């Protein structure tokens, strides 16, 4: 069977962290791969601010957070977004809407799984029904404080597993509350829940997909050209 143009992109190897110019096996983070695919001058991305100005800062921050937190087996899910980041930057108002969406959906769709496992179903339900930022943040703050108090109580009882879950609730809820100001913290919500609850990474990737539908869409990048650029980078040639 003849390889399709998207196979060149799917075969790129995503790695956690920033890397030198990609070698024969590929080897970049999601934002670096997006730079190569778009035909922009390659640069290492150590923080969202390193991304080209045409990249949406909230989307790039969330994608970078997922890239660095995902296990190797899960990270290829992000390759579907390689062609969708360059050109996604939008107005300040739209970027603020994207940031709020990432935070709100992380509270509504990821945090509840961890709360249920920790024995806090009422608080999980409160997160699930939050429809505005204020309600979601209040629920996250409550989870942060309750998780910390209950984790300490569990440790006194030597209930180590329950204590670990509750401590994870507190840490993850802290990230959820911060996510309304820092979209990378929204990725930390997935990172905190994934070791305890199944199916978290597909949900986190779906949230990224939906956030990309807000505001300006990245201009279409020719798959053949993108594949050639990635192949050239993999071979160590100048892109």
Per-residue pLDDT tens for 25-40? 556 778 888 888 788 8
Range of weakest confidence among 38-42, 93-97, 134-138? 38-42
Nearest in space to 123 (alpha carbons), one of 161, 156, 172: 172
How far the first Cα of the chain sits from its last, in Å, is 28
β-partners of residue 26 are 23
pLDDT per position as a tens digit, 155-209: 888 888 888 989 999 999 999 999 999 999 999 999 999 999 999 999 999 999 9
**Cβ-contact 64, 48 below 8 angstroms:** yes
CA distances 67 to 91, 99, 172, 223, Å, are 25, 18, 18, 22
pLDDT recorded at residue 10 = 44
pLDDT recorded at residue 159 = 86
pLDDT per position as a tens digit, 200-239: 999 999 999 999 999 988 776 666 666 666 666 666 644 4
Nearest in space to 66 (alpha carbons), one of 224, 194, 222, 231: 194
**Cβ-contact 239, 39 below 8 angstroms:** yes
Q: pLDDT at residue 49 above 80?
A: yes
> Mean pLDDT, to the nearest integer, of 51-78?
92
Strands, E assignment, the chain: none
Query: Roughly what angle, to the nearest 10 degrees, separates helices 200-211 and 183-193?
Result: 160
CA distances 102 to 95, 98, 126, 233, Å, are 11, 6, 18, 32
SS3 of 159, please?
A: coil
pLDDT recorded at residue 94 = 97
pTM (predicted TM-score): 0.86
């Amino acid at each position: 069977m003849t390889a399709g143009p998207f196979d060149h992109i799917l075969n790129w190897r995503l790695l956690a962290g920033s890397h030198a110019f990609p070698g024969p096996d590929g080897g970049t983070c999601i934002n670096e791969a997006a730079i190569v695919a778009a035909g922009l001058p390659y640069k290492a991305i150590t923080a969202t601010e390193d991304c080209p100005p045409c990249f949406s800062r909230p989307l790039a921050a969330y994608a970078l957070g997922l890239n660095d937190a995902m296990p190797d087996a899960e990270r290829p899910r992000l390759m579907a977004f390689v062609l969708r980041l360059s050109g996604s930057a939008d107005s300040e108002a739209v970027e603020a809407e994207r940031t709020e969406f990432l935070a709100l959906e992380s509270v509504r769709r990821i945090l509840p799984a961890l709360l249920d496992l920790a024995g806090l179903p009422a608080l999980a339900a409160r997160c699930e029904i939050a429809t505005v930022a204020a309600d979601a943040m209040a629920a996250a703050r409550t989870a942060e404080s309750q998780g910390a108090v209950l984790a300490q109580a569990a440790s006194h009882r030597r209930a180590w597993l329950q204590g670990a879950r509750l401590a994870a609730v507190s840490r993850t809820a802290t990230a959820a509350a911060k996510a309304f100001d820092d979209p990378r913290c929204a990725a930390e919500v997935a990172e905190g829940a994934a070791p305890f609850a199944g199916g978290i990474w597909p949900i986190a990737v779906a949230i990224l997909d939906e956030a990309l539908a807000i505001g300006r869409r990245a201009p279409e990048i020719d798959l053949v050209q993108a594949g050639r650029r990635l192949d050239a980078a993999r071979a160590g040639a100048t892109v």
